[in-house]
């Protein structure tokens, strides 16, 4: 069962009316080395709106989800120990699934900022139902992020 919420009253769904489904946003807290470089990366480069903050953490609207960057511990080590489509990928990592054009716009914004990719934008599972564009990079603290986009959005959970 997919979790989420309806953009309508439950009674509308019960009456058989068409309602829009909106996935429930997630929340992720993670450690960063400093807030200044974190604000520049997530806010200025990725374009995430800043939310609440204190001297030790800051929230961002991460493509419709809430992430909280904290300076109260050690950043978790990242290693290329995952394997997807025959390619070693960094673990752990988090990211966002974006519409096709938004993915490519973000990839260009990352290039224009002069950031290095761990794995440059590429297409994986070409010709399959789950065909997707993907890229990996590190934030200034060394946290790995993956951004991806499905050519066919219905392929998100297709086996």
- What pLDDT was estimated at residue 146? 98
- What pLDDT was estimated at residue 18? 57
- 47/106 Cα distance (integer angstroms): 9
- What pLDDT was estimated at residue 82? 92
Question: What are the distances in angstroms from CA 6 to CA 11, 36, 64, 117?
Answer: 11, 37, 16, 37
One DSSP character per residue, 82-122 reads EEETTEEEEESEEEEE--HHHHHHHHHHHHHTTPPEEEEEE
- What pLDDT was estimated at residue 21? 62
- 14/18 Cα distance (integer angstroms): 10
Locate the domains of the chain by residue range.
5-157
**CATH number corresponding to 5-157:** 3.10.180.10
Is the pLDDT at 11 greater than 80? The verdict is no
Express each pLDDT in 46-102 by its tens digit.
999 999 999 999 999 999 999 999 999 999 999 999 999 889 999 999 999 999 999
Express each pLDDT in 93-144 by its tens digit.
999 999 999 999 999 999 999 999 999 999 999 999 899 999 999 999 999 9
Mean pLDDT of 140-158: 93
- What pLDDT was estimated at residue 106? 97
Angle in degrees, CA 109, 110, 111, rounded to 5: 90
Q: Per the structure block, which two tokens stand in for 28?
A: 């992720």
């Amino acid at each position: 069962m997919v979790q989420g919420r309806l953009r309508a009253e439950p009674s509308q769904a019960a009456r058989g009316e068409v309602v829009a489904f909106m996935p429930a946003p997630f929340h992720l807290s993670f450690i960063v080395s400093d807030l200044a470089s974190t604000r520049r990366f997530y806010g200025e480069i990725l374009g995430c709106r800043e939310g609440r903050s204190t001297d030790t953490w800051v929230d961002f609207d991460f493509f419709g989800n809430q992430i909280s960057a904290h300076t109260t511990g050690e950043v978790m080590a990242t290693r290329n120990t995952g394997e997807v489509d025959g390619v070693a990928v960094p673990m752990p990592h988090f990211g966002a699934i974006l519409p096709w054009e938004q993915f490519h716009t973000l990839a260009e914004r990352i290039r224009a900022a002069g950031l290095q990719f761990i794995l440059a934008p590429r297409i994986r599972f070409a010709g399959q139902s789950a065909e997707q564009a993907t890229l990996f990079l590190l934030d200034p603290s060394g946290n790995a992020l993956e951004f991806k986009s499905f050519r066919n959005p219905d392929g998100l959970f297709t086996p």
